């Protein structure tokens, strides 16, 4: 939400009803999941999207500019942005799976092993 909204730590999805929203493009699988979960929670059966983009930074900029609220994955949000308010949404979402694929037949630089280890550590802290 734009700065100044009093969100608290957990936002009831009903608070999104009737508010202008910014979100990803129609047909985007993540956006479809968001819309389904909001509808299941009794909020936003017909969401009012005033702006759509598949670029997370653009969506955050639109929130910062006061165009609307957004429901985004935590990893997609710059939580250090002083001009937005960030809170958890009070409805369950399925966890996102993030995978790393490489060709086991090919050799790779030691830096790749280090990247894999750092990614495992970072995601372990988030789960």
Token code pair at residue 64:
């910062």
Least confident of 20-34, 56-70, 77-91, 93-107: 93-107
pTM (whole model) above 0.75 = no
Token code pair at residue 69:
């609220």
With a CB cutoff of 8 Å and minimum separation 6, the contacts of 109 are none
**Alpha helix (H) residue ranges in the chain:** 29-40, 56-64, 110-126
pLDDT of residue 77: 93
Q: Label residue 81 exposed, middle or buried (CB < 10 Å: 0-12, 13-18, 19+).
A: middle
**Which domains does the chain carry?**
10-89 (3.40.190.10)
6-65 pLDDT per residue, tens:
788 888 888 888 899 999 999 998 899 899 888 888 887 788 899 999 999 999 999 999
| DSSP for residue 96 | P
């Amino acid at each position: 939400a734009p700065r100044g909204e009093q969100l608290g730590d957990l936002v009831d999805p009903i608070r999104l009803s009737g508010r202008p929203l910014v979100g990803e493009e129609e047909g985007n699988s993540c956006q479809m999941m968001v819309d389904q979960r909001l509808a299941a929670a009794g909020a936003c059966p017909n969401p009012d999207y005033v702006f759509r983009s598949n670029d997370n930074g653009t969506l955050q900029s639109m929130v910062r500019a006061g165009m609307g609220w957004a429901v985004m994955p935590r990893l997609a949000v710059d939580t250090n942005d002083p001009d937005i308010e960030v809170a958890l949404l009070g409805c369950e979402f399925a966890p996102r799976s993030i995978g790393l694929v490489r060709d086991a037949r090919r050799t790779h630089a030691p830096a790749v092993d280090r990247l894999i280890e750092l990614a495992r550590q970072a995601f372990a802290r988030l789960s």
